[in-house]
């Protein structure tokens, strides 16, 4: 899941990004409203956290333009303005939630989870690949019915591979999908996450193949035990 944080307070934006990444989300940061329209037109985000007091155009106008251009991702407004008129105005423009500053980080992350849960309510939150099952809302993984512990970045890489089974995912596309725009995540780091996933999943017959010069591919699941018996 990818979140766009629109906040001109550098310290607050950095804190939000750090907390969300610890929760397993990829987070991008923008300090100007005008950049948001360009970014959302070019890339897909699952949630926008939007400050009202921005240096170029305010958050209300950003929200108006997002909805006018057909962007339907959830938008959580952050604002030091806590008047009822501002809340009503934001909701009328298409905001999904409104949180006044100052706020507690656990409350913000709970609201983020709730908004994303709501946005995927009409699609299955569970991805199944042979004995592997991912609950994308609860952020839980199971292998052959047993809980599988995955670090946040391992989860993110696996989610990318599961979204394109039998299709090649380049290192660059994986980095783009799981890292924020300012991250310095390297291709060597991706190799490490792939290696860890192979260790955790290989025994269950889930294969991640290296396609040299291109990237990685999650193979279609085959019951290797059943094949060996029948063969």
135's tokens: 């609950």
CB count in 10 Å sphere of residue 123 = 8
pTM of the model: 0.57
Give the tens place of pLDDT for each residue, 65-104: 998 888 888 999 998 888 889 989 999 999 999 999 989 9
Q: What pLDDT score does 184 carry?
A: 65
Q: What pLDDT score does 169 carry?
A: 84
Q: What pLDDT score does 37 carry?
A: 83
How high is the mean pLDDT of the chain?
Answer: 84
In the sheet that 146-147 helps form, which strands lie side by side, from edge to edge? Answer: 126-129, 132-135, 140-143, 146-147
Cis before residue 102, ω within 30 degrees of 0?
Answer: yes
**Where are the chain's structural domains?**
2-119, 126-230
Q: How far apart are the first and last CA of the chain?
A: 41
Q: What pLDDT score does 229 carry?
A: 32
Q: Find the helix packing angle between 152-162 and 187-201, rounded to 10°.
A: 80
Tell me if domain 2-119 and domain 126-230 are identical in fold: no
Give the CATH number of domain 2-119.
3.40.50.2300
% of the chain residues with pLDDT over 90:
37
Q: Pick 126-230's CATH classification: 3.30.70.1450, 3.40.140.10, 3.60.20.10, 1.10.10.10.
A: 1.10.10.10
């Amino acid at each position: 899941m990818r979140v766009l944080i629109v906040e001109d307070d550098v310290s607050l934006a950095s804190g939000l990004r750090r907390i969300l990444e610890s929760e397993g989300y990829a987070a991008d940061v923008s300090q100007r409203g005008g950049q948001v329209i360009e970014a959302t037109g070019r890339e897909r985000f699952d949630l926008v956290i939007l400050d009202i007091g921005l240096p170029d155009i305010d958050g209300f106008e950003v929200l108006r333009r997002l909805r006018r251009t057909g962007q339907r991702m959830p938008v959580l407004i952050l604002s030091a303005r806590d008047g009822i008129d501002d809340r009503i105005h934001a909701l009328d423009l298409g905001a999904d939630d409104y949180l006044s500053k100052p706020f507690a980080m656990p409350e913000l992350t709970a609201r983020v989870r709730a908004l994303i849960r709501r946005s995927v309510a009409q699609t299955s939150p569970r991805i199944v690949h042979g004995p592997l099952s991912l609950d994308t809302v609860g952020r839980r993984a199971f292998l052959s019915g047993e809980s599988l512990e995955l670090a946040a970045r391992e989860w993110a890489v696996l989610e990318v591979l599961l979204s394109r089974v039998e299709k090649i995912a380049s290192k660059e596309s994986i980095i783009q999908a799981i890292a924020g725009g300012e991250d310095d995540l390297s291709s060597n780091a991706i190799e490490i996450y792939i290696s860890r996933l192979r260790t955790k999943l290989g025994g269950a017959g889930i294969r991640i193949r290296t396609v040299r010069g291109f990237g990685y591919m999650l193979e279609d699941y085959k019951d290797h035990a059943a094949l060996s018996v029948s063969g």
